Amino acid sequence: MVSNPETPTPPSKLSDALKSHPFHLHHEYLDLTSLKELPDSYDWTDELNMIPATTGGGNSAISEAMPVIDFNDPDALQLIGHACKTWGAFQVVNHGIPSSLLDQTECTSRDLFSLPIEQKLKASRSPDAISGYGLIRMKSLKNTSKKMKRLAEKLMWLMLGSLGITKEDIDWANPNSYIPDASSASQMNHYPACPDPDRAMGMAAHTDSSFLTIVYQNNVIGLQVLKEGTGWVTVPMIPGGLVVNIGDLLHILSNGLYPSVLHRAVVNRSKARFSVAYFYGPPATVQVSPFPKLIGPGHPSLYRPITWSEFLGIKAKCFNEALSSIRVTETPPIECVDANDDSNNVEVA
Ligand SMILES: C=C1C[C@]23C[C@@]1(O)CC[C@H]2[C@@]12CCC[C@@](C)(C(=O)O1)[C@H]2[C@@H]3C(=O)O
Ligand SMILES: O=C(O)CCC(=O)C(=O)O
Ligand SMILES: [Fe+2]
């Protein structure tokens, strides 16, 4: 094969994916922990984000609450399939991750974010790097907690199983395969108390690019998911519960059957909030495309094949238009505007 010098080689690691798409934030790094007034640069005006949420599950309809799935439930597979189709997210309990480990992670996160800003800036992330301290959008801290990985694997197989996809169907899942292992990244988020929560947003509405993301939130609510026909729904606190979000890569693999969930994090006036997100997906260089069993007459393949690495590059440029930009349609592909703007006020590490 002859390589075309004008075609760049796709990055082989997630951490390299941002090198060609540096992310420049125009925010100055403020100490956000003791603000008396919202700085003008944090004033939020975006329509999608300013729509308020319903209280925990639709207008009093209890059936509209986000599904909570017990891992020990014999019907877990079907329940997960239904939750993926209808919500793109659910909470899981009895997941096997000891609460002591989650508490410990929260303490580490509190300690890290409470360091003086000068000290945190010593670990700042540069515009083309994936890890370090900074403001979102693109940043993460490598934390390959074996337990999180194991849980993510179990969740993935339940999700794929509910679509009729088996381990034999997925090359990279085979332990004897020469293909590298799954990719993952962790991100710790800190949302300081905000003097003007109605004018600010913790983390702007987005989908994750992963296969699935596991989110741990300390006992302060703030995560909201967009439920079709209902609007923004606040994810309730469930002791020991972990939130699972469907990401864009599972959306692609399921040919749109399991849509990635649009979610955001709001801030509140009196309490600081912490969360940890664990992004899990295929090896960075493996191409993901709509699964053949899910394609047929009346169900054309909706997306072109893409690696996580390439998709991250597209996401850095197109942000919430990334999925539509790789959709195979008869209409001309979406032209993205640069998503390289500064619109969030959450600290991440
Ligand atoms: C693996 C990753 C997914 C992510 C980019 C990252 O490198 C680490 C941070 C992740 C995050 C969190 C906030 C929303 C998001 C869209 C972003 O800009 O950074 C996601 C990225 C993603 O899922 O594409
Ligand atoms: O803080 C939260 O609850 C959500 C975090 C999130 O969506 C992310 O890190 O991608
Ligand atoms: Fe997210």
Q: What is the pLDDT of residues 38-93, one digit of tens each?
A: 777 666 667 677 777 865 443 433 347 899 999 999 999 999 999 999 999 999 99
Among 91, 213, 344, which is best to mutate for testing ligand 2, by the most ligand atoms less than 8 A from CB?
213
* Residue ranges around ligand 1 (CB below 6 Å): 14, 130, 136-140, 185, 187, 206, 208-210, 279, 312, 315
Nearest partner of 213 among 291, 159, 273, judged by Cα: 159
Catalytic: 273?
Answer: yes
| Residues of the chain below pLDDT 70 | 1-10, 18-35, 41-45, 47, 54-63, 127-131, 134-142, 144-145, 173-180, 329-349
The tokens for 234 are 């606040």
How far, in Å, is the centroid of ligand 2 from the Cα of 190?
10
Q: From atom 3 of ligand 2, which residue's Cα is the shortest distance away?
A: 223
Q: What is the pLDDT of residue 337?
A: 54
ipTM of the predicted structure?
0.96
For 287-334, the pLDDT digits (tens) are: 999 999 999 999 999 999 999 999 999 998 998 999 999 999 655 555
Any ligand 2 atom below 6 A from CB of 215: yes
Interatomic CA distance for residues 78 and 82, integer angstroms = 6
309 lines ligand 2 (CB under 6 A): no
Range 298-301, long-range pairs (CB < 8 A, 24+ positions): 299/255, 300/328, 301/255, 301/328
Strands 68-70, 89-93: parallel, antiparallel or unpaired by DSSP? parallel
Nearest C-alpha neighbor of 201 from the set 135, 246, 248: 135
CA of 294: how far to CAs of 130, 159, 174, 290, 311, in Å?
33, 14, 21, 7, 21
The model carries a pTM of 0.85
* Catalytic residue (one of 125, 137, 264, 273): 273
Q: Is 264 in the pocket of ligand 2 (CB under 6 A)?
A: no
Atom of ligand 1 nearest to the CA of 130: 7
Question: What is the rounded distance in angstroms from the CA atom of residue 144 to the CA atom of residue 278?
Answer: 9
| Structural tokens at position 174 | 């085979």
pLDDT given at position 1: 25
* Tokens read off for 265: 């994090």
Strand arrangement of the beta sheet that strand 134-135 belongs to: 68-70, 89-93, 242-246, 212-217, 273-281, 183-191, 347-348, 134-135
Q: Is the CB of 203 under 6 A from ligand 2?
A: yes
Mutate-to-test residue for ligand 1 from 187, 211, 243, highest number of ligand atoms within 8 A of CB: 187
Structure tokens at 41: 């640069």
Burial class (CB in 10 A: 0-12, 13-18, 19+), 237: middle
